[in-house]
Amino acid sequence: MKKAIPYLLIVILFIAALFVRQCREGGTTEKSSRPSSGTYHSTQRDSSSVADVFRDVDATYFFTKHARCRMECRHITQKEVKEIVQQANINFAKSEPDAPRGAKYALEGYTSKDQQHVRIIVAPKERHLTIVTVIDLDEDWKCGSCK
């Protein structure tokens, strides 16, 4: 029985930690468009309030390595990506506002330079907008590996 006591204490502490975490997540309501958890979550499909996050002209952008690779292959500039993001035409059918690792939104539009029809996957974070990937909806580019 004495050997089981440390394991029992670990299990009790684990259950207590889960309980505290559940209380913190479920018991608070945030009215801010950018909660302190680090990501933007929208339980409703109110496109105007979600779009406001993307329309901020002073927003900081972070481009993932994958996004940069896809942009280079598809001849899409950072300026064009920012223009489309700021237009904030959200395709909710392709978005994941409740994704486990944070909300992701599919923004669609046309590039200013050559009118490419693109979809940009953006993950809004507390301090920046992460560009996850950039997809050309009309042309299937042979990009190679962008992992």
Question: Mean pLDDT, to the nearest integer, of 90-112?
Answer: 93
Q: How far apart are CA 19 and CA 72, in angstroms?
A: 47
Cα dihedral 96, 97, 99, 103, rounded to 10, equals: 110
Exposed, middle or buried: residue 96 (CB in 10 Å: 0-12, 13-18, 19+)? middle
- CA-nearest of 141, 88, 147, 145 to 119 is 88
Helix-then-strand count for the chain, H and E = 4, 4
Residue range 61-77: average pLDDT? 93
Q: Where are the domains of the chain?
A: 4-136
* Averaged confidence pLDDT in the chain: 80
Please say whether the beta carbons of 126 and 34 come within 8 A. yes
Q: Per-residue confidence at 46, pLDDT binned at 50, 70, 90?
A: low
Please state whether the predicted TM-score (pTM) of the whole model is above 0.75.
no
**pLDDT tens-place string over residues 111-139:** 988 899 999 999 998 889 999 999 999 98
